[in-house]
Amino acid sequence: MANPTLTTLQSHRSIRKFTSEPLSEAEVTTLIDAAQHAATSTFSQQYSIISVTDPAKLAALAEITGHHWLEKAGHYFVMVADQYRNQCLSLNDDTTQANLHSLDKLLAGIFDASIATEAIVTAGESLGLGSTIMGSILNDVPRLINLLDLPKLTLPVLGIAIGHPAEQPEQKPRLPQQLMHFTNGYHTLSSTDRALQAYDQLVADYYHQRETHQRDETFTHHIATELSRDPQQRAGILIGIHQQGWLH
Ligand SMILES: Cc1cc2nc3c(=O)[nH]c(=O)nc-3n(C[C@H](O)[C@H](O)[C@H](O)COP(=O)(O)O)c2cc1C
């Protein structure tokens, strides 16, 4: 099956090199509008978007994420889980406050911000823009809260560096569907699974053949490496969650 929406979705790759052309105001407005049309939990629209244009703040974001190339993107968004706005609209009784501070509402804000993130990425790609989603803004949540003046009951979730692509990287091969799509219940995995072994080979071939940063890496090895990082590196996430008044 094929149509322009599927082609856009199936052509995705993260873009980390951009031309010097900034996004126009019309492009930014269009992307925000696309994000706003995404579904939100209980129609509560519990997220906000911050466009970061101040070079000093972009430099701080580059330090936090370790991604200095973000300063050359055509635009930068920080997606924020947000119950602050709805708190302003709501009653000050115990039930309301318990709801606003609950894990459920924290997750709802994170869902809304994440779904809007993907809408921006896909809308951008449909316009010929490229982007990279950045979880690495969470490397220093307390600093980011301060940098962006985030009020209580908000939390930064993801960054998006977006712009006109100056690269066209190869697409990363995805898991075979049989390893991630199950019918009527979960299928547990064996490390000798043939489909997994074939996928490991596919990923190894991808890393050998791609134009930049070639290396020896299977998917299994990649996951082991990712999970060997110091979990304390992002201890600031929980500190930030509590600092912002969530889960009280
Ligand atoms: C939640 C999330 C967080 C991510 N964080 C980062 C990041 O901090 N830095 C980065 O370079 N890429 C980041 N990425 C992009 C992934 O590395 C990328 O999507 C993945 O390697 C697959 O490559 P592709 O998007 O080109 O298909 C993130 C993606 C997601 C969905």
Sheet strands (E) in 83-194:
130-134, 154-163
Q: Tell me the residue type at 75.
A: H
Q: Which of 66, 52, 80 is nearest to 140 (CA)?
A: 66
- The CB of 172 under 6 Å from ligand 1? The reply is yes
Domains with residue ranges and CATH for the chain: 12-169 (3.40.109.10), 177-224 (no CATH)
Taking the centre of ligand 1 as the mean of its atom positions, its distance from the CA of residue 137, in whole angstroms, is: 12
Taking the centre of ligand 1 as the mean of its atom positions, its distance from the CA of residue 160, in whole angstroms, is: 10
Lowest-confidence range among 43-57, 75-89, 91-105, 206-220?
Answer: 206-220
| Contact predicate 159/139, CB 8 Å | no
How far is Cα of residue 123 from the mean position of the Cα atoms in its chain?
Answer: 15
| Contact predicate 40/109, CB 8 Å | no
- Atom 20 of ligand 1 has which residue's CA nearest to it? 14
Phi/psi of residue 141, nearest 5 degrees: -65, -45
The string of pLDDT tens digits covering residues 41-50 is 999 999 999 9
Ligand 1 atom at minimal distance to the Cα of residue 169: 26
Would you state the pLDDT for residue 248?
86
Q: Which of 132, 157, 158, 229 to mutate to test the pocket of ligand 1 (most atoms within 8 A of CB)?
A: 132
Would you state the pLDDT for residue 212?
85
Residue with tokens 């991808």: 206
User: Who's near 150: CB < 8 A, 6+ residues apart?
Assistant: 80, 144, 156, 244
According to DSSP, residue 212 is labeled S
Helix (H, G, I), strand (E, B) or coil at 247: coil
- The CB of 133 under 6 Å from ligand 1? The reply is yes
- The CB of 135 under 6 Å from ligand 1? The reply is yes
Q: What is the band of 192 on the pLDDT scale with cuts at 50, 70, 90?
A: confident
